[in-house]
Amino acid sequence: MSTHDDHGHAAHGHAPAPAALPGKPTDWATVRNVSLLIAIFALLAWMVSLVACGSVEARENERRAEAASAAWPRAEQEARAFLKRYDAGYQKLYAAASEAEWLTNTHIVEGDDSNARRNDSSKAALAAFTGSVEVIETCRRLLAQKKELEPLTARQLEMVLYNAGDKPATAKELVAQRIAAETKQVEKLFGYSFHLDGKEVTPNDLDELLKKETDLKKRQAAWEASKEVGRGLKGGLADLQRLRNGTVRALGYPDYFSYMVSSYGMTTEEMIALNDRTLRELRPLYRELHTYWRHELAKRYGQPVPDMIPAHWLPNRWSQDWNELMSVPGVDLNAALKDRSPEWVVKQAEKLYVSLGFPPLPPTFWEKSSLYPVAADAGFKKNTHASAWHMDLDRDVRSLMSVENNREWYETAHHELGHIYYYLSYSRPEIPLVLRTGANPAFHEGIGTMIGLAAMQPRFIQAVGLAPAASDSKPDPIQMLHQQALFYAVFTPWSSGVMTHFEHELYARELPKEQWNQRWWELVAKYQGIVPPAQRGEEFCDAATKTHINDTPAMYYSYSLANVILMQIHDHIAREILHEDPHDANYFGHREVGDFLRLLLAPGATVDWRQLMKEKLGQEISAEPMLRYFEPLMKWLQEQNRGRKQTLPDV
Ligand SMILES: [Zn+2]
C-alpha cells in the first residue's frame, strides 16, 4: 500500500503544449532554437504522411464526413478542421517527448547529459506546438462562438487551451527555462546517491530499515539519511516556483496551483474547501489511530508516550503510510510471496484484470516496460518511483516499477495496471485524442488503488492461493481493517493536509524559500501530529525529498480524493453488483464488475467527472462510504483508547 501516492504520473501528462500549426508566421529571425526546428520537421513529416497514407477505406470515411459536415455551422466546421490538424501534430510530438522522458527516467548515467538534452528539446518542441500563439488564439476565437459548437467539440477546444496554458508561447523564454529546470531537478533527485554510515545505499534499503529496525538511533540515522537529498534540491525548487507561476500567468491563471486545479473544473477555493471537508470528516478516525499508536510505539521503543509522534518512529520516510506497523496473522502476504518471483507478481495483477473481461496486456507492454530493479553495478540508475505511461495516447502503454516479491509491490503492481487499463479503455477511435485522459486525475489514481484493495481481501487472497486454507487461521477482521486504515485514514492528513496546503502556499502565496522548512513542519504537526527527531533548519528542504513536489506539482489532492472516490466505487460494486460485504468481496472472475468499471473508464474525459459520478454511481463525492467501511474499527479503537489523552490538533 505504501507507495500509493508513489504511483506518480497517473495521466502521465506532458501538458499539451502548442506546436506551431501552419499559420501565423513565426518570428524567423529568432529561430535559434533547435527544438523549434524539430517541431517544424515533425510537422512537415506529418503532412507528408497524411498525403501518403490514405487507404480506400479512410478516403471513403473522409468523403462521408465531408458530406455530413456541410450541415454544420461555420464555427463547428472550422473547429473540426483545426482539431484534426492539431491532433495529428500533437500525437507525434507527444510520443517523441514521452520517449525522451522515458529514457531520462529509466537510464540515468551520472555525468552523461545526452538523454537530458534530448528530453529538453523534445519537450520544447511539444511546448512550441501546444502553446503556440495560433493555437491559443484559434481556441479563444472559436470558444467565443460556443453556441455554434457541439459540446464535444467545445470540450476538446477547452482541453487544448488548458494544455496551452502550461507552456504558452507567449512566455517562450520562461517556458524554455522551466523545461530545463524541471529536467535538471528530476535528474538531481533520482541521480542522488543516498549514504548511511559512509556506505552508499538505495532508497529501498532505507525504507526496509524504517520498516524493520527497532533501535531508535539506527532508525533516526536512516530517516535523516533519507532527507539529505533535499538540500541540493532547494535552489531548483525555488526556480520552479517562479517559473511554473510565470508560465501559466502568461495565459491569465493567477498561479500554478489554480492552473492545475482548473483541470477539475474547480477554483482553488473550492478545491481547498473539498480537501478540508474530507480532512474534517476523517479526523475522528485519525485521532483514534494517532492516540492508539502514540501509546503502542512508546511501548515498542521503551519511551514515554509523546504528544506528537517522532517521524523516525514510523515505517515510512514521510509518515504517509503506517501500514507496516503491524501484520495480521493469517494474511501475511510477505510470507506468501516469498516463494514467488517478481514476474509472478506482475502477471498475477494482469490475471485479475483479464478475469474482469479486460484484454491481456499488449505484447509491447512486456517488451518496453521497465518493471524490475536495476542492479547496483548496472552502470546506470532509474527512477525508483512507480509510474504508468501512455506513450503515444494510443496503444503504447508502459510501466516503470522496481517490482520485488513483497506485499507493497504486489499492491503497487495492481495499482499501476489500473492506470494502464484506464489508458487502454479510452484509447478508442470514438474518443478524441485530447480527451484520452481520466475523468479527473483522482479517478485515474482511484481505479488502480481500488483493484489493489480488492486484491488484498481475504477471500480473494485465498482464491489466488496466497493464503492458508480457511480453516487454518482466519484473520481477525478488525485487525485487517486496522491495517487498511493505517494506509487510508493515515494518508488523508498527509495528502489533503500537508502536501495540498504546502503546495497551495508555495505557488498561490509564493511562500519564500527562507520559510519552507519551518512551514513544512508546522503543517506536519498540525495535520499529521508528527514532529522531526531533531531541529530541521532552513539548510534542509524536506518538502523537496518528496518526488511529486519536484516532478508532479500541485496535484497531490488527487491522491486523497482518489481514496475517497475509490471507496465509493468499491462500496457500490460490493453491495450493488456482487451483493457482498465490502470488507470481504471477491472481484475475481466477475465480468459484471468489469462491465461496470468500463462504464466509468471508457468515456475518458468526454464527460464532466461530477456528472459521471451522478450518472453511474448515483452519488456526489463523499467520504461517507469510507467512514462506514471503518466503523467497526472506530468502535474498537475508542474502546482501546478509553481514558487516554488526545493530543492531535483540530483542523
Ligand atoms: Zn497512480
Q: How far is the CA of 390 from the centre of ligand 1 (A)?
A: 13
Q: How confident is the model at residue 462 (pLDDT cuts 50, 70, 90)?
A: confident
pLDDT, averaged across the chain: 89
- Condensed to tens digits (0 to 9), the pLDDT of residues 179-237 reads 999 989 988 998 899 999 999 999 889 999 999 999 999 999 999 999 999 999 999 99
* pLDDT, position 26: 26
Q: How confident is the model at residue 39 (pLDDT cuts 50, 70, 90)?
A: very low
Q: How far is the CA of 397 from the centre of ligand 1 (A)?
A: 14
Q: How far is the CA of 11 from the centre of ligand 1 (A)?
A: 8
Distance (Å, whole) CA 135 – CA 83 = 10
Contact indicator for 161, 55 with CB cutoff of 8 Å: no
When mean pLDDT is compared across 49-58, 286-295, 303-312, the lowest value belongs to 49-58
Q: Residue 229 is placed in which grid cell? A: 537529498
Residues 6+ apart with CB under 8 A from 187: 104, 108, 116
Q: How confident is the model at residue 436 (pLDDT cuts 50, 70, 90)?
A: very high
Distance (Å, whole) CA 166 – CA 127 = 8
Q: How far is the CA of 445 from the centre of ligand 1 (A)?
A: 5
Percent of the chain with pLDDT over 90: 77
What is the mean pLDDT of the segment spanning 452-457? 88
Q: How far is the CA of 419 from the centre of ligand 1 (A)?
A: 7
Q: How far is the CA of 96 from the centre of ligand 1 (A)?
A: 23
Q: Any idea which residue has 480488492 for its cell? A: 454
Q: Residue 317 is placed in which grid cell? A: 520516510
Q: Is 80 exceeded by the pLDDT of residue 473?
A: no
Q: How far is the CA of 4 from the centre of ligand 1 (A)?
A: 7
Q: How far is the CA of 3 from the centre of ligand 1 (A)?
A: 9
Q: How confident is the model at residue 20 (pLDDT cuts 50, 70, 90)?
A: very low
Distance (Å, whole) CA 311 – CA 320 = 10
Q: How confident is the model at residue 115 (pLDDT cuts 50, 70, 90)?
A: confident
Q: How far is the CA of 444 from the centre of ligand 1 (A)?
A: 7
Residues near ion ligand 1 (Cβ under 5 Å): 7, 10, 445
Q: How far is the CA of 257 from the centre of ligand 1 (A)?
A: 20
Judging by DSSP bridges, how do beta strands 309-310 and 530-531 pair with one another?
A: parallel
Q: Any idea which residue has 470515411 for its cell? A: 61
Q: How far is the CA of 189 from the centre of ligand 1 (A)?
A: 19
Distance (Å, whole) CA 208 – CA 202 = 10
* pLDDT, position 55: 64
Q: How far is the CA of 448 from the centre of ligand 1 (A)?
A: 7
Q: How many CA atoms lie within 13 A of 562 on its CB side?
A: 30
Contact indicator for 332, 467 with CB cutoff of 8 Å: no
Q: How far is the CA of 586 from the centre of ligand 1 (A)?
A: 22
- Condensed to tens digits (0 to 9), the pLDDT of residues 516-547 reads 999 999 999 999 999 999 999 999 999 999 99
Q: How confident is the model at residue 606 (pLDDT cuts 50, 70, 90)?
A: very high
Q: How far is the CA of 415 from the centre of ligand 1 (A)?
A: 6
Q: Residue 530 is placed in which grid cell? A: 508528527
Q: How far is the CA of 418 from the centre of ligand 1 (A)?
A: 8
Neighbour-count burial for 284-318, b at 16+ CB within 10 Å, e otherwise = ebbbbbbbbbbeebeeeeeeeebebbbbbbbbbbb
Q: How confident is the model at residue 340 (pLDDT cuts 50, 70, 90)?
A: very high
What residue ranges define each of the domains in the chain, with the CATH number in brackets? 18-166 (no CATH), 269-640 (1.10.1370.30)
When mean pLDDT is compared across 108-112, 295-299, 363-367, the lowest value belongs to 108-112
Contact indicator for 289, 195 with CB cutoff of 8 Å: no
Q: How far is the CA of 627 from the centre of ligand 1 (A)?
A: 23
Distance (Å, whole) CA 411 – CA 415 = 6
Residue 397 phi/psi, 5-degree rounding, is -115, 140
* Cα→Cα distances 477→74, 583, 587, Å: 63, 8, 18
SS3 of 355-413: the string is HCCCCCCCHHHHHHCECCCCCCCCCCECCCCCEEEECCCCCCEEEECCCCCCHHHHHHH
What is the mean pLDDT of the segment spanning 440-456? 92
- Condensed to tens digits (0 to 9), the pLDDT of residues 43-62 reads 444 444 444 444 677 777 77
Contact indicator for 630, 489 with CB cutoff of 8 Å: yes
Q: Is 60 exceeded by the pLDDT of residue 252?
A: yes
Q: How far is the CA of 562 from the centre of ligand 1 (A)?
A: 9
* pLDDT, position 16: 28
Q: How far is the CA of 580 from the centre of ligand 1 (A)?
A: 27
Rg, Å, the chain Cα set: 25
* pLDDT, position 5: 42
Q: How far is the CA of 441 from the centre of ligand 1 (A)?
A: 9
Q: Is 50 exceeded by the pLDDT of residue 65?
A: yes
What is the mean pLDDT of the segment spanning 545-562? 95
Contact indicator for 497, 279 with CB cutoff of 8 Å: yes
Distance (Å, whole) CA 477 – CA 70 = 64
* pLDDT, position 9: 33
Contact indicator for 12, 386 with CB cutoff of 8 Å: no
Burial of residue 573, with CB atoms counted within 10 A of its CB: 0-12 exposed, 13-18 middle, 19 or more buried? buried
- Condensed to tens digits (0 to 9), the pLDDT of residues 321-339 reads 999 999 888 777 888 899 9
Contact indicator for 289, 486 with CB cutoff of 8 Å: yes
CA angle at 546 for the pair 542 and 548, rounded to the nearest 5°: 140
Q: How far is the CA of 402 from the centre of ligand 1 (A)?
A: 14
What is the DSSP annotation of 32-44?
--HHHHHHHHHHH
Q: Is 80 exceeded by the pLDDT of residue 437?
A: yes
* Residue 543: closest CA among 240, 104, 170, 298: 240
Q: How far is the CA of 335 from the centre of ligand 1 (A)?
A: 25
* pLDDT, position 205: 93
* pLDDT, position 471: 52
Q: Any idea which residue has 498475477 for its cell? A: 348
* Cα→Cα distances 564→326, 496, 570, 640, Å: 23, 11, 10, 26
Distance (Å, whole) CA 223 – CA 278 = 29
Instruction: List the end-to-end C-alpha distance of the chain, in Å, as a whole number.
Output: 25
Q: Residue 427 is placed in which grid cell? A: 484509447
Q: How confident is the model at residue 466 (pLDDT cuts 50, 70, 90)?
A: confident
**Helix (H) and strand (E) counts in the chain:** 26, 6
Residues 6+ apart with CB under 8 A from 580: 574, 586
Q: Residue 318 is placed in which grid cell? A: 514521510
Burial of residue 324, with CB atoms counted within 10 A of its CB: 0-12 exposed, 13-18 middle, 19 or more buried? buried
* pLDDT, position 173: 93
Percent of the chain with pLDDT over 70: 91
Q: How far is the CA of 100 from the centre of ligand 1 (A)?
A: 21
Q: How far is the CA of 366 from the centre of ligand 1 (A)?
A: 19
Q: Is 90 exceeded by the pLDDT of residue 166?
A: no
